[in-house]
Amino acid sequence: MPDNIIQMAIPWVVLTLITIALAIYKKSLDVHTDESLHIGAGEDQLVKAQMAQSRRSDLAERWGKILTIVVFLYGIVIVGMIAYHQWQVNTTAGFQ
């Protein structure tokens, strides 16, 4: 296996771990979500806290989707490079 594929696999692993950590973070945000509706006069702080929690959860979800797509496509590129390398090795093996 060529060195450049191994060098490309290291960032892929790091991106995968970041994506997993982001999914865990989003899950922990969703567990602590207060889904009750606060409309009373003295509940302004609760409404603001709910809105902030919702924004953090939405942001984590958006970045999670983006990173999942990037990890998937990056993995396909690495697998393609490995397949191409194997194909080159197999086609040139008969000529030696």
Write the pLDDT tens digit of every residue in 24-70.
999 998 887 766 666 667 777 777 888 888 899 999 999 999 999 99
Contacts of 26 (CB under 8 A, 6+ apart): 57, 60, 61, 64
- 22 by DSSP, 3-state: which? helix
> By the 8 A CB rule, do 61 and 29 touch?
no
- pTM attached to this predicted model: 0.78
> By the 8 A CB rule, do 32 and 53 touch?
yes
pLDDT band at 2 (very low <50, low <70, confident <90, very high): low
Q: What is the pLDDT of residue 93?
A: 67
Q: Cα torsion at 26, 31, 33, 34 (round to 10°)?
A: 180
Q: What is the pLDDT of residue 47?
A: 76
